[in-house]
Chain A
Amino acid sequence: MRRPVFALALLAVLASPAAADEVLRLPGMHVGGTIARDSRGIPHITGFTEWDAHFLTGYAQAQDRLFQMDFYRREASGTLAELLGPAALSSDVQLRAIGLRRTASSSMNILSNEGRAALEAYAAGVNAWALNNPLPPEYAALELTKFAPWTALDSLAFANLFLLGQFFDDSDAGRTQAFLTYQGTGAAAGFDGTKLFFEDLARFEPFDHTTTLPVPASGAVRTAQIRAARPELYARAEAEARRLAALGVDGLINDWLAKVDAAPYFKEALNRGKDRGSNEWGVSGKLSATGNPMIANDPHLSLGWPSTWYPMAVQGGPINATGMGAAGVPFVLVGQTPYIAWGATNNPTDVTDMYVEQLVLDPTSLAGFATTYKGAKEPVLAIPEVFRQNNPGNGAMDDITVVPAGGAIPPATIIVPRRNLGPIISLDLAHGSAISLQYEGTAATREVDGFRTWNTAKSLADFQRGLTYLTIGSFNWAVADSAGNLAYLTSGEQPLREDLQANAPKGLPPYFLRDGTGGNEWMARTNVYPNQALLYEILPPAERPQAVNPAAGFFVNANNDPVGLTLGNNPLGRQRPGGGIFYLNYGYDGFRCARITQVLQKKLAGGGKISFDDMKATQADIVLIDAEVFTPYILAAWDHANASGADPALAAFAANQALSGVIGYLKKWDYSTPTGLAAGWDAGKPSGTAPTQAQIDASVAAAFYSAWRGRFAANVIDKTIAPYNLTPPGNDQNSTLPALRHMLDNFATLQGVGASGLNFFAVPGVAAAADRRDVVILQSLVDAISLLSGSTFTAAFGGSTNLADYRWGKLHRITFAHPLGGPFSVPPAFGQFPAPVAGLNGIPRSGGVGTPDVGNHPIRANTLDGFMFSSGPSRRYVADVGSASIHAETSLPGGVSALPTSPHYIDILPLWLTNTTYPAELAGGPTLPWAP
């Protein structure tokens, strides 16, 4: 795609904030209101009515983020190509199929009057700005002069897109493909491919067993039983794998994965390959220094430009909230009212199932076929689609043309009513099969009513009432209120599967492709819980993980397994109180919760209390929890190599001077990950200030350890399965590191040989298993040194022979990417934030894989930009909730305004980069006389 460059002069007219003391009375407002900007440009919005508050929210957001809003609503609606051009067409096709805008239309019908009015007021406000002011500079680059008026539906579609990014999960397809491949290859090559998948490599057991709530004793018993029952699961899986292979499912999966790969904006919308994690924790008044409950929250989202969140304070009518909204909806989504503070993390929950459908011809259908269920034909729906695209670069303004159907452009979306109105996403008419999608977000939901309820909340009970409106996926909530309550809550409507509820899983588990012809259905709804939207039976809300005023006095959640369902390496490992398998998700993050819990427990040891500053410092923690586990293995291997009588292959490492030097760094390492650069950005250390010697030493250790981690994974896993043309099941920490830990922690038993029968530590000529292990460990470190000192990393390290030059900050960098790239991204931000290190992309930043202040990168990174990260804390927030007031501080990775000419374009990014926070304040605007 063409990367436009702009004359800054074009931008000069675009920033014209409203005067602070002006009462705005715009056409479309009911009474009036004010927008006061604080020193960071954050709008403090006061509407004299609720309508006016939402109107002015739309007005302010359009003023600051109009292109971002347009981008997201079009992405959600499958019309992004009408903005960006042909490059977005493939994404439009997929997002049109999922149908977020279709769903938005049905959701509008079940919204409350207040919720609907809020969206309409917001839309009026957006248009009041957009239709009377110059468009942002992106439009000129795209040769567009018009902005299609915003509608309430756009907000709902955007909300659906946001939730899709959090909870839509098509990994069932890739997982099934991997399993089929492993199983089939194993059968042909003479190893147990099923166990290679389930036991050796694609482990569901998290890296660390720390949970948010205590694992009940009964759960532990059940976990043990399930461990024993796994052979039955494997036998079923193998049988189903054979059935699916006969149906040509591999082709269907490949088709789908190819479509996703070819659709960059769709992949981005799905957060594919990005961290969907977050941190939150709460400390009760009993354990806090102030005696008040405190919460901390940093949601980890894509760190693009402009930032995902839109900071704002808004009041009007019953609304009075401050925190983070999103440009596209009129509410504060995470933040506080005068009485309550809340934060959220993603609670990974399996609310997406993919089904293999068997098709029969049906001349009565527009699609020409029907699905079959229990042997009976079931009609599908065909929704005609017309795709359009902008044609930037040809010099013609507003040149939007229809794209004829054909090839990758379908004439219609095919809907399977049985699948919660989900689409067919892959079709193989030759085999008479298809993959359909069943996702919670393809039918009407009422999240917006929940958002509104929180923005009026005066108590924990009010907040909990708001949660009842949430359907799609699940969030973990950290909540504290002015009555002194501290709560860990989870939300969302988790569908119950018929076979799991009957304690008789059929075919493959729900985190694989399921059988669309019967036996794997979401159960029909028989119980209806307050404000339930999902038309299927759900897990009773009382059974969701939750604790009000937890006995421990604190809780931590960082996308980990909240109650330990997967600790036995089987997500179907526990039963519901009333029977049926208690299934929430197939896997969880096992890193950050462990580290944060570790930090808090250390603070609380010996009767200590946790202060507000402790909360902020914990958010800034950059310790690698996996390094705590693996580094002792490296050091033990080194000692082993240096021991007398070591195997010659092992002893050879002892003579490696560079290796010895790196070991020296690892020996004194505290597992932290500072940049170690004067040009780097660390907590409390802005770019331009020199790092301490301790930071430099730690950064060197972090660089070599992180490179070792990738080489170790490659040497242990990839090299072992490569001869069979197999690839690892993933390249992130959760798909790789639990397997490595399992192998090392259980080495005495396994001797390096997996349940599959494959030897992962095969070293020719070395007899003892422990020797082979240590050879692989040390060879991986030698490989890491070679990698970093080699030509690939010349721009970073110049092949230096001085180990002290290998600073982590030269690897771990971030670019805040704008959809149009080029000067719009940060760096360079039109020259306002140039890259701090010459020759290297991005901004050096502390943190690493699974650190609380996170900056995940692919585990097997081996390129100059491979250690860069693109998601992380999209907001930091700590609140001390007193009975009379809430003291809260926050930060944002970006500026409030997306306009390069605005003084608030990039002004608060340095605060985020140094973990500096600023007060979160309520709107505090004028009220009308006599108004409540």
Chain B
Amino acid sequence: MKKTSIAALVLVLALLALPAAAQVTTEIGFLGTWIHSTTTTVTNAQYDIGVKFQDGAGGGLFVDVRPWKLVSFELSGFYTRQSAAITANGSTLVSAGSLEAKTGVLEAKLHPLGDGTFDLYVGAGGAYAGFNDLTDSALDAAGIGTVTVKGKAGFAGSAGVRVKLGASAGFVVDAKYLALKPESQGASGPPTDLRWNPLLVSAGFGFRF
């Protein structure tokens, strides 16, 4: 975790230094986001019991700095909300309230087609997510109580396209995959490492200046 944080800091500093170093384009935008968890945290394989986060929604902001035609750096932040549940055989056993995540992502992006009308890109970098506590009367009834989920850094990858709408405006469709293992704990039970590997599919508009 410490190495990841240092790497992210270096990236941020580099990003801020770029405008002075070259002719850069900076874009700021906003996104509406649909979040889909791609994995379930299995805590008992024999009975297929685990923690599952349902599809949810949210929104985000991004700033993309592009010092070169083929490469840019993006800093984005998302707020997402998903229903959480303890499941067995894929069905909900205990509703676990909502997982609200505040996620920051810093990525380097490669634009193989250059800065055209259809600007495709792929990216990779790091992410850090902070979470609210999971609360639900069902958790209380199950003797679990409030579940705390600790913030965690992890891997981020993305792919997307920017469609130029004018001189500065563009329509952005972005998909990000995050891989994090935040630690969670109920009121008195043992800690559980969650597998939070969401896919954030977003669409929005960006404006260059």
B142 & A931 in contact (Cβ 8 Å cutoff): yes
The distance from the CB of B159 to the nearest CB of chain A, in whole angstroms, is: 32
The distance from the CB of A121 to the nearest CB of chain B, in whole angstroms, is: 13
Given known contacts A23-B47, A30-B141, A49-B143, is B86 in contact with A929 (CB within 8 Å)? Answer: yes
B93 & A23 in contact (Cβ 8 Å cutoff): yes
Contact indicator per residue, chain A 11-29, by CB within 8 Å of chain B (1) or not (0): 0000000000111010000
A23 & B49 in contact (Cβ 8 Å cutoff): yes
Q: In this assembly, does A48 line the interface, its C-beta being within 8 Å of a C-beta of chain B?
A: yes
Give the residues in chain B near A926, CB-CB below 8 Å. Answer: 44, 46-47, 49
Name, among A30, A50, A926, A928, the residue most crowded by chain B CB atoms within 10 Å (CB to CB): A928
Given known contacts A32-B93, A48-B94, is B88 in contact with A929 (CB within 8 Å)? Answer: no
A928 & B49 in contact (Cβ 8 Å cutoff): yes
Q: In this assembly, does B4 line the interface, its C-beta being within 8 Å of a C-beta of chain A?
A: no
B184 & A25 in contact (Cβ 8 Å cutoff): no
Q: In this assembly, does B112 line the interface, its C-beta being within 8 Å of a C-beta of chain A?
A: no
- How far is it, in angstroms, between the C-alpha of A926 and the C-alpha of B50 when the chains are bound? 11
B44 & A927 in contact (Cβ 8 Å cutoff): yes
The distance from the CB of A736 to the nearest CB of chain B, in whole angstroms, is: 56
The distance from the CB of B89 to the nearest CB of chain A, in whole angstroms, is: 6
Q: In this assembly, does B33 line the interface, its C-beta being within 8 Å of a C-beta of chain A?
A: no
B88 & A931 in contact (Cβ 8 Å cutoff): no
- How far is it, in angstroms, between the C-alpha of A49 and the C-alpha of B141 when the chains are bound? 8
- How far is it, in angstroms, between the C-alpha of A926 and the C-alpha of B46 when the chains are bound? 8
Give the residues in chain B near A50, CB-CB below 8 Å. Answer: 143
Q: In this assembly, does B192 line the interface, its C-beta being within 8 Å of a C-beta of chain A?
A: yes
Contact indicator per residue, chain A 847-873, by CB within 8 Å of chain B (1) or not (0): 000000000000000000000000000
B86 & A932 in contact (Cβ 8 Å cutoff): no
Q: In this assembly, does A34 line the interface, its C-beta being within 8 Å of a C-beta of chain B?
A: yes
Chain A contact residue count (CB 8 A cutoff): 19
The distance from the CB of B42 to the nearest CB of chain A, in whole angstroms, is: 9
- How far is it, in angstroms, between the C-alpha of A32 and the C-alpha of B141 when the chains are bound? 12
The distance from the CB of A29 to the nearest CB of chain B, in whole angstroms, is: 10
The distance from the CB of A23 to the nearest CB of chain B, in whole angstroms, is: 4
- How far is it, in angstroms, between the C-alpha of A50 and the C-alpha of B89 when the chains are bound? 22
- How far is it, in angstroms, between the C-alpha of A609 and the C-alpha of B169 when the chains are bound? 89
Given known contacts A23-B47, A48-B142, A49-B141, is B93 in contact with A31 (CB within 8 Å)? Answer: yes
Give the residues in chain A near B104, CB-CB below 8 Å. Answer: none
B141 & A23 in contact (Cβ 8 Å cutoff): no
- How far is it, in angstroms, between the C-alpha of A31 and the C-alpha of B189 when the chains are bound? 17
B44 & A49 in contact (Cβ 8 Å cutoff): no
Give the residues in chain A near B192, CB-CB below 8 Å. Answer: 929-930
- How far is it, in angstroms, between the C-alpha of A932 and the C-alpha of B189 when the chains are bound? 4
Q: In this assembly, does A264 line the interface, its C-beta being within 8 Å of a C-beta of chain B?
A: no
Q: In this assembly, does B147 line the interface, its C-beta being within 8 Å of a C-beta of chain A?
A: yes
- How far is it, in angstroms, between the C-alpha of A32 and the C-alpha of B188 when the chains are bound? 20
- How far is it, in angstroms, between the C-alpha of A30 and the C-alpha of B143 when the chains are bound? 11
B142 & A31 in contact (Cβ 8 Å cutoff): yes
B189 & A930 in contact (Cβ 8 Å cutoff): yes
Give the residues in chain B near A317, CB-CB below 8 Å. Answer: 143
B143 & A25 in contact (Cβ 8 Å cutoff): no
- Beta-carbon nearest neighbor of A927 in chain B: B44
Contact indicator per residue, chain B 173-204, by CB within 8 Å of chain A (1) or not (0): 00000000000111111001000000000000
Contact indicator per residue, chain B 18-51, by CB within 8 Å of chain A (1) or not (0): 0000000000000000000000010110111111
A25 & B91 in contact (Cβ 8 Å cutoff): yes
Given known contacts A23-B88, A32-B93, is B46 in contact with A931 (CB within 8 Å)? Answer: no
Contact indicator per residue, chain A 127-162, by CB within 8 Å of chain B (1) or not (0): 000000000000000000000000000000000000
- How far is it, in angstroms, between the C-alpha of A25 and the C-alpha of B93 when the chains are bound? 8
Q: Which chain A residues in 886-932 approach chain B with CB under 8 Å?
A: 926-932
A931 & B141 in contact (Cβ 8 Å cutoff): no
B46 & A21 in contact (Cβ 8 Å cutoff): yes
Name, among A317, A928, A930, the residue most crowded by chain B CB atoms within 10 Å (CB to CB): A930
- How far is it, in angstroms, between the C-alpha of A43 and the C-alpha of B138 when the chains are bound? 27
Q: In this assembly, does B144 line the interface, its C-beta being within 8 Å of a C-beta of chain A?
A: yes
The distance from the CB of A315 to the nearest CB of chain B, in whole angstroms, is: 12
Give the residues in chain B near A34, CB-CB below 8 Å. Answer: 47
Q: Which chain B residues in 36-83 approach chain A with CB under 8 Å?
A: 41, 43-44, 46-51
Give the residues in chain A near B89, CB-CB below 8 Å. Answer: 23
A932 & B186 in contact (Cβ 8 Å cutoff): yes
Give the residues in chain B near A25, CB-CB below 8 Å. Answer: 88, 91, 93
B141 & A930 in contact (Cβ 8 Å cutoff): no
The distance from the CB of A123 to the nearest CB of chain B, in whole angstroms, is: 19
- How far is it, in angstroms, between the C-alpha of A929 and the C-alpha of B87 when the chains are bound? 10
- Beta-carbon nearest neighbor of A925 in chain B: B47
- Beta-carbon nearest neighbor of A928 in chain B: B86
The distance from the CB of B26 to the nearest CB of chain A, in whole angstroms, is: 44
Of the residues A21, A49, A929, A932, contact of B188 by C-beta under 8 Å: A932
- How far is it, in angstroms, between the C-alpha of A32 and the C-alpha of B94 when the chains are bound? 9
A932 & B49 in contact (Cβ 8 Å cutoff): no
Contact indicator per residue, chain A 31-48, by CB within 8 Å of chain B (1) or not (0): 110100000000000001
Name, among A34, A48, A926, A929, the residue most crowded by chain B CB atoms within 10 Å (CB to CB): A929
Given known contacts A928-B49, A929-B86, is B142 in contact with A49 (CB within 8 Å)? Answer: yes
- How far is it, in angstroms, between the C-alpha of A931 and the C-alpha of B139 when the chains are bound? 9
B143 & A32 in contact (Cβ 8 Å cutoff): no
Name, among B43, B47, B188, the residue most crowded by chain A CB atoms within 10 Å (CB to CB): B47
Give the residues in chain A near B86, CB-CB below 8 Å. Answer: 928-930
Give the residues in chain A near B186, CB-CB below 8 Å. Answer: 929-932
The distance from the CB of B148 to the nearest CB of chain A, in whole angstroms, is: 10
Give the residues in chain A near B184, CB-CB below 8 Å. Answer: 929-930
- Offer 27 A-B interface pairs, CB within 8 angstroms, sorted by A: A21-B47, A22-B47, A23-B48, A23-B89, A25-B88, A25-B91, A31-B93, A31-B138, A32-B93, A48-B94, A50-B143, A926-B47, A926-B49, A927-B189, A928-B94, A928-B144, A929-B50, A929-B51, A929-B86, A929-B189, A930-B86, A930-B139, A930-B185, A931-B186, A932-B186, A932-B187, A932-B189
Binding site for A on B (CB under 8 A): 41, 43-44, 46-51, 86, 88-89, 91, 93-94, 138-139, 141-144, 147, 184-189, 192
New A-B pairs, 8, CB < 8 Å, besides A25-B93, A932-B189 = A31-B94, A926-B46, A928-B142, A928-B144, A930-B139, A930-B185, A931-B142, A931-B143
Binding site for B on A (CB under 8 A): 21-23, 25, 30-32, 34, 48-50, 317, 926-932
Sorted nearest first, the 3 A-B pairs with minimum C-beta distance are A930-B186, A23-B88, A926-B44
